[in-house]
Chains A and B, each alone.
Chain A
């Protein structure tokens, strides 16, 4: 529900760059401790925007603690300058200064993970060939030493052509001050001669670079990788003769081999040679943590461990959040009562208490659950566990035509499909990616939770079945239902519209590490802000609009008219009369009022569509109004039933139970409730998800398909449940 993506500032509108003395790009391999260090260097002086056209986050900050105004841009992690995913491509484009509207970097901060120098050095030698002023931050040295790796920092600096190498411990801040000072002076630092990892490449393009004025490093990349951003730019800038010359050089230098394979061979040969000078391998210290992680590396303990972790997460989301939710519920209830106490029953009081407080309150109540869920997902991701989950689940996912990499987006989708769909960017294969995107909205997101919680609390008996609680079991079943339907959808899509060869699967498995509290805290804070901002804007607006639609027009219903109407009803029911209290008469007037309001009319208008599902006009109206964002449904039901004839019941659940058809039959029968639950489990009632599918697939085809398909599933599922059950 925390729609992380849509309240974003386009990066180009951040007017920072102009006033900076230098812009430094932070580059490193994934999991090198880059973001933790970035947070250390900038503190809270950072902004998150989006790269133009894509949902990749762009983190920009100001170097803190120095006089110079230096802009730091935290780029997505990449293993090299030939990109294999959208995020890598952005990092590469940014390094080359190829992103429209962005200042090209004046210098680089290269992050080198001491426990993974092998891959780190591969990236760094490519970066050094850009001949930008560069400083290297050596991270994770403590972890490397614990596993027996001793790094000679002077030798490392020498191997890299005397680039400054500064060790930092990002978690404690040790070494960060020296790094800041180096960064402040970076743009004045002379560029260094890059290490000769592949001098033939540089030499080969040098004459062409001199003749054409295009930088040698760009020509080198274009030579290796025609389809890269560098390749496209070179193709646009060079004339035909020069391009022919480049083609000739390519044949001469590389021959028939795949250029990237040759590049990997050449560069890693250099890396191995450098590594032998720079790092000594000793015997690792056998810590308890290492032994525990070794135990969970075995097939069965690893898989069972994963299930245990997931169980703890879901348990925590429901158990830990309850006290906080009760607190928010109580606060919003007494606030509403207070407003009615002050202002009576007039227009303003109704707007504030029934519209704003009841509407927004019924959504804000889910903040604790969302934060707990995000806390777990952030911690699991930062500790490197999510990658391991992908590894463990690969076999299972393969049997439905996906890969283990689809697991991470699906787990994230339990919080919200929007970040989940964004997380599919790590899947390099397009078919797999789209199949995962279509499966993600089926996962029970935190916005479905309020609806489930409300209906289960109201209609599933509190019964123990052995050690298990029936309500919890039903909830678990709904989660399972979503998972099964999602995976089934991906499977069918992969077998029909998106057939193709089985994609490659290569996954980096980082060592487990303790997540950094600061980083986790900052991410959590950002999530909370996004959620509250949404509750304060979108949901506030929806709540007020729904209230107004339910309140207006104010028809003048007199007691006489009511009595006349009741006579008709009692005639129909066989002439029995009921004792009427003044409060009951008030409530009946309110109910009649609601029925004649715009919302009531709209609900009645669509009622025939949903009548086969057993829904009355109130449920229909709430469902229709919930299409842009399903979490508002509870808010709408809250508002509708707060002004209706069932308002005597203290809780919304009680009001739902008491609600009847005009002839006295209850609306919420078991088959109807089951159908409603199925409807919510399936239906794609979320404008933000539709928008993010549109952006991530870059076409309207998939969001339109997903919406139609999921709505149809929901409708016919509910129809089936109601018709079979009644």
Chain B
């Protein structure tokens, strides 16, 4: 994903405790996320999730499988 792009979460693999925490923050299947930016070195990443900002490290973000979504959806 590039900054400004939007995607929908299709599936989540490995439901470990940190991932469950992210799920209770709203990163669940069907949620629409927009890539908002990244810090120096490309990590961590910043996403926007229905208007709120959330920052994840790359390795955690990789547990979420996404597919492109219509903009603004």
Which residues of A come within 8 Å of B, CB atoms? 79-80, 82, 84, 115-119, 122, 144, 147, 149, 257-258, 260-261, 263-265, 268-269, 271-272, 275, 281, 297-300, 302-303, 391-392, 394-395, 404, 428, 503-511
Known: A117-B50, A509-B54. A391 touches B24 (CB 8 A): no
Whether the pair A116, B44 counts as a contact (CB closer than 8 A) is no
Q: Among the listed B18, B22, B28, B72, which residue makes an inter-chain contact with A503, where contact means beta carbons less than 8 Å apart?
A: B18
- Determine the residue in chain A with the shortest Cβ distance to B56: A506
- Hey, which chain A residues are within 8 Å of B31, CB to CB? 268, 272
- Hey, which chain A residues are within 8 Å of B18, CB to CB? 503-504, 506
Shortest distance between the CB of B65 and any CB in chain A (Å): 15
Q: Among the listed B24, B37, B41, B72, which residue makes an inter-chain contact with A264, where contact means beta carbons less than 8 Å apart?
A: B24
Whether the pair B56, A257 counts as a contact (CB closer than 8 A) is no
- Determine the residue in chain A with the shortest Cβ distance to B59: A502
Known: A119-B25, A258-B15. A505 touches B39 (CB 8 A): no
Shortest distance between the CB of A641 and any CB in chain B (Å): 49
Whether the pair B44, A404 counts as a contact (CB closer than 8 A) is yes
Counting CB contacts under 8 A, is B70 at the interface? no
Q: Among the listed A116, A147, A264, A510, which residue makes an inter-chain contact with B20, where contact means beta carbons less than 8 Å apart?
A: A264
Q: Which of B11-33 contact A (CB under 8 A)?
A: 12, 15, 17-26, 28-31
Shortest distance between the CB of B18 and any CB in chain A (Å): 3
- Hey, which chain B residues are within 8 Å of A505, CB to CB? 44, 55-57, 60
A-B contact pairs, 15 of them (CB 8 A): A79-B24, A82-B24, A84-B21, A118-B52, A149-B51, A261-B19, A264-B23, A272-B30, A281-B72, A391-B44, A504-B21, A505-B56, A506-B18, A506-B55, A508-B54
Q: Interface SS of chain A: helix, strand, loop or mixed?
A: helix
Q: Among the listed A118, A147, A263, A391, which residue makes an inter-chain contact with B39, where contact means beta carbons less than 8 Å apart?
A: A391
Whether the pair A391, B46 counts as a contact (CB closer than 8 A) is yes
Shortest distance between the CB of B25 and any CB in chain A (Å): 6
Whether the pair A394, B57 counts as a contact (CB closer than 8 A) is yes
Q: Given contacts A116-B51, A264-B20, A265-B29, could you give 18 more A-B pairs where the C-beta distance is less than 8 Å? A: A116-B52, A119-B26, A144-B51, A149-B51, A257-B15, A260-B23, A261-B12, A261-B20, A265-B28, A268-B28, A272-B30, A300-B40, A391-B39, A394-B39, A505-B55, A509-B46, A509-B55, A510-B53
Q: Among the listed A118, A265, A297, which residue makes an inter-chain contact with B36, where contact means beta carbons less than 8 Å apart?
A: A297
- Hey, which chain B residues are within 8 Å of A509, CB to CB? 46, 52-55
- Hey, which chain A residues are within 8 Å of B54, CB to CB? 506-509
Q: Among the listed A115, A122, A300, A392, which residue makes an inter-chain contact with B51, where contact means beta carbons less than 8 Å apart?
A: A115
- Determine the residue in chain A with the shortest Cβ distance to B43: A395
Whether the pair A261, B52 counts as a contact (CB closer than 8 A) is no
Known: A394-B39, A504-B21. A297 touches B51 (CB 8 A): no
- Hey, which chain A residues are within 8 Å of B53, CB to CB? 508-511
- Hey, which chain A residues are within 8 Å of B46, CB to CB? 297, 391, 509
- Hey, which chain A residues are within 8 Å of B52, CB to CB? 115-116, 118-119, 508-510
